Amino acid sequence: MVVELDRDPDLYSDNVVQWRRAAAEGDVDGFEVKRRGDEDVKAKIMLDIRTATDRFKVNSPLLRELLDIRGPISKAGFIMKLWQYIKFNNLQDSDDPDQIRCDTGLALALGSPVVSFTTLPQMLHAFMTRPDPLIIEYTVRVHAGDFHMAQYAFDVEVEVEEPSRQNIGPLANVQARHRELGQIESQLAQKMQDIHNARAKRDFLRGFADDPVAFVHRWIDNQTKDLEVIMGDRRHGLEAALAAIMAADSAAQELTADRQQVLEQETAKWLKESALYDESWADEAVFHY
């Protein structure tokens, strides 16, 4: 707010009073400006009104006329007005919706017959300036007694924040949202890991339930492979597996040359064709169980 007093600067040096709102300053109910004098003084009061959203003056008279803008407007409102004008006059290219084919008035205002819709917000910056201050002309009277009532009262419409958001700073709100999103992402990651573990366990147990004998054979085969890798001797694992099978089979029947050859071939086939580690659940199963 600026108050200018129309007094002789040679006699009075304090003819301008200026007040700027500090960032952390609370609400102000009013002002009292006192100056010494014995003559009526004309005063000019200039108010720069702060609103909940930033408002601008459109500095192009042609754009103001085309878009029917009668006062300060927000950037979002400015873009919305222009978009309504484009849709109403069917200026959007039917083949390429991003291209705006300006009519005569809009082309003259924007300086181009064709503009890209994605560049409009940046282009409109050139047409936005600070709104003009509200100016009130007033005469301070000193010869009308102790109290003088002005002839006019001024009612100024001002946009304010919603009551529920007045005590919530924008930065604190953004930080709180980021924390909430981080917590939700952590919970989702944990749930996904739980689902993955449960699926691996289910597949492992289902394989055993569907065919226990084959499952155990595959498990033994892979344990044998692991032993071969650890010992660095593939033949040692084959001989150990063959010896175990022969020992179990010899109790039931006497081994013949043909029977021994069949057992050797079957054991080699198990060790060669085992596909347990190719299945998706194998790594998780070995790790957990």
Contacts of 228 (CB under 8 A, 6+ apart): 234, 236, 237, 238
Q: What angle do CA 46, 49, 51 make, to 5 degrees?
A: 175
Backbone CA torsion sign across 92, 94, 97, 98: negative
Average pLDDT of span 262-279: 68
Tokens of 261: 């050859």
Count Cβ neighbours within 10 Å for each residue of 132-148 and write b for 16 or more, e otherwise: eeeeeeeeeeeeeeeee
**What global pTM score does this model have?**
0.44
pLDDT at 172: 56
Q: Within 13 Å, how many C-alpha atoms sit on residue 31's CB side?
A: 12
Distance of alpha carbon 289 from alpha carbon 196, whole angstroms: 15
pLDDT at 275: 60
Distance of alpha carbon 268 from alpha carbon 143, whole angstroms: 121
Chain-centre distance for alpha carbon 11 = 60
Instruction: Name the band, by pLDDT with cuts 50, 70 and 90, for residue 176.
Output: confident
Tokens of 111: 């300086």
Distance of alpha carbon 148 from alpha carbon 267, whole angstroms: 115
Distance of alpha carbon 143 from alpha carbon 270, whole angstroms: 118
- What single letter denotes the amino acid at residue 48? D
Helix (H) or strand (E) holding 139: strand 134-140
Instruction: Name the band, by pLDDT with cuts 50, 70 and 90, for residue 121.
Output: confident
Identity of the highest mean pLDDT range in 10-14, 145-149, 278-282: 10-14
pLDDT at 195: 92
**Residue scoring higher pLDDT (281 or 112):** 112
Q: What angle do CA 34, 38, 40 make, to 5 degrees?
A: 80
33-88 confidence digits (pLDDT tens)? 888 777 888 889 888 877 767 788 888 889 889 898 888 888 888 888 888 998 88
78-92 confidence digits (pLDDT tens)? 888 888 998 888 888
